[in-house]
């Protein structure tokens, strides 16, 4: 059966995407292609050496380096980066890193409209969306704007080879969460569903191979392909309960981003499978098992993912506040979101057992 829907809308961004081992060495040709001459290279502090290599490769097209990108894009770091970009007269941005560095580039572009070249080093997928999450005084807000969408993405498998195994696992599950929720998004369309299914298939096929041999560049490349697809659907359709729970747990309890996604995903999907079993059927087709939540739980367990929110530092006493916050202004969700149901879901995710079917 095809994925045809009788009525739908598709909104795609004009993004140039290039894949290939070593493709990061072609950033200078992308800067030239954009007609720019003064790139500001961005990274986190631990990735400063890689940023310096990129700047050296830019052969005179690098105007400066800013290596203070921070998780959740604090606005004070953005202000400092904006000042630096102005001081070096940057006319474009090169972000090398995961969602934190990509977030900083997006925050600068949102205010300056400088074009962005992104070279992702995790699977988070932020490079493929026009969404920016930023924090001020501990409060995270999200904004969507065409200026935020990066213009060029270069996916280089050699760069994810250094991603530690634990982060490889959680970052992949973070990406898969975008695709899983895209399957039942209210504004899904046949193309977003195709992309989501292919993204999940890429991770199912390649992630076990990466974990067997983290230096397997073909498998690393396939996981990056999955990340691109999963990020692309995140940019195209709305997310639901799973993302709401993760934003609440990350924003209000400071739980780590990718790990939280990894733990919550099977529970959120099991919950929603009660309402939309047919839309989630591709998950069991891809990962096996009797139901989508259990299939994702077993897959996460088999690849050594954290399985319990308590392992991430959440206290049992915090569960009722988390449930209250997550249900106060819920996102649209296929299964009705009630306080008792979310209490139950969070308790199961906190304890770390398989999700209730």
Residue ranges in contact with ligand NAD by CB under 6 A = 44, 46-47, 71-72, 97-101, 103, 121-122, 124-126, 129, 131-133, 159-160, 162-163, 167, 171, 234, 257-258
Nearer to ligand NAD, 44 or 284 (CB): 44
Calculate the alpha carbon distances from 253 to 5, 120, 234, 246 in Å: 40, 27, 24, 10
Nearer to ligand NAD, 160 or 307 (CB): 160
Within 13 Å of residue 177, how many CA atoms lie on the same side as its CB?
33
Given a contact cutoff of 8 angstroms between Cβ atoms, the answer to whether 95 and 118 are in contact is: yes
User: Could you tell me which residues come within 8 angstroms of residue 355 by beta carbon, excluding any fewer than 6 positions away?
Assistant: 266, 267, 269, 270, 271, 293, 294, 297, 345, 348, 349
Given a contact cutoff of 8 angstroms between Cβ atoms, the answer to whether 15 and 231 are in contact is: no
CB of 163 to ligand NAD, least distance (A): 4
CB of 338 to ligand NAD, least distance (A): 27
Nearer to ligand NAD, 251 or 289 (CB): 251
Q: In whole angstroms, what separates CA 150 from the centre of its chain?
A: 14
Given a contact cutoff of 8 angstroms between Cβ atoms, the answer to whether 107 and 73 are in contact is: yes
CB of 160 to ligand NAD, least distance (A): 5
CB of 209 to ligand NAD, least distance (A): 17
User: CA torsion sign, 305 to 19 to 81 to 109?
Assistant: negative
Nearer to ligand NAD, 146 or 353 (CB): 146
Nearer to ligand NAD, 160 or 348 (CB): 160
Q: Contacts for 218-221 with beta carbons within 8 Å, 24 or more apart? A: 218/157, 220/157, 220/158, 220/160, 220/161, 221/19, 221/21, 221/155, 221/157
Nearer to ligand NAD, 173 or 273 (CB): 173
- In this structure, the number of other CB atoms found within 10 A of the CB of residue 42 comes to 32
Within 13 Å of residue 29, how many CA atoms lie on the same side as its CB?
7
CB of 124 to ligand NAD, least distance (A): 3
Nearer to ligand NAD, 47 or 291 (CB): 47
Nearer to ligand NAD, 129 or 333 (CB): 129
Instruction: Name the residue whose CB lies closest to ligand NAD.
Output: 99
Given a contact cutoff of 8 angstroms between Cβ atoms, the answer to whether 54 and 121 are in contact is: no
Query: Alpha-carbon distance 263 to 261, whole Å?
Result: 6
Query: Alpha-carbon distance 216 to 220, whole Å?
Result: 6
CB of 90 to ligand NAD, least distance (A): 21
How many residues does the structure list for the chain?
357
CB of 57 to ligand NAD, least distance (A): 17
**Residues linked to residue 133 through DSSP beta bridges, in sequence order:** 142
CB of 32 to ligand NAD, least distance (A): 26
Nearer to ligand NAD, 105 or 133 (CB): 133
CB of 130 to ligand NAD, least distance (A): 8
């Amino acid at each position: 059966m095809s994925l045809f829907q009788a009525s739908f809308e598709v909104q795609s961004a004009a993004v140039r995407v290039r894949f290939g081992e070593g493709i990061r060495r072609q950033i200078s040709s992308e800067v030239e292609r954009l007609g720019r001459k003064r790139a500001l290279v961005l990274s986190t502090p631990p990735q400063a050496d890689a940023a310096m290599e990129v700047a050296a490769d830019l052969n005179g097209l690098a105007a400066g380096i800013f290596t203070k990108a921070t998780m959740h894009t604090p606005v004070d770091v953005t202000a400092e980066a904006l000042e630096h970009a102005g001081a070096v007269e940057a006319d474009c941005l090169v972000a090398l890193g995961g969602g934190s560095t990509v977030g900083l580039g997006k925050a600068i572009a949102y205010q300056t409209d400088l074009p962005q070249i992104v070279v992702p080093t995790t699977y988070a997928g932020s490079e493929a969306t026009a969404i920016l999450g930023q924090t001020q005084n501990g409060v995270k807000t999200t904004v969507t704007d065409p200026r935020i969408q990066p213009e060029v993405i270069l996916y280089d498998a050699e760069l994810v080879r250094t991603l530690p195994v634990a982060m490889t696992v959680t970052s992949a599950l973070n990406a898969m969460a975008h695709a899983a929720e895209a399957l039942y998004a209210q504004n899904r369309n046949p193309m977003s569903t195709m992309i989501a299914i292919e993204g999940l298939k890429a991770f199912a096929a390649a992630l076990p191979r990466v974990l067997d041999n983290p230096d397997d560049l073909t498998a690393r490349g396939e996981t990056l392909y999955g990340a691109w697809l999963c990020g692309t659907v995140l940019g195209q359709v709305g997310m639901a309960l799973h993302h709401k729970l993760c934003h609440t747990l990350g924003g209000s309890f400071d739980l780590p981003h990718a790990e939280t996604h990894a733990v919550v995903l099977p529970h959120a999907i099991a919950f929603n499978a009660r309402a939309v079993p047919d839309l989630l059927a591709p998950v069991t087709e891809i990962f096996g098992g009797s139901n989508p939540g259990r299939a994702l739980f077993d897959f996460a367990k088999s690849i050594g993912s954290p399985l319990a929110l308590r392992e991430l530092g959440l206290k049992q006493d915090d569960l009722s506040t988390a449930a209250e916050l997550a249900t106060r202004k819920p996102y649209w969700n296929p299964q009705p979101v009630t306080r008792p149901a979310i209490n139950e879901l969070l308790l199961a995710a906190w304890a770390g057992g398989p999700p209730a079917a």
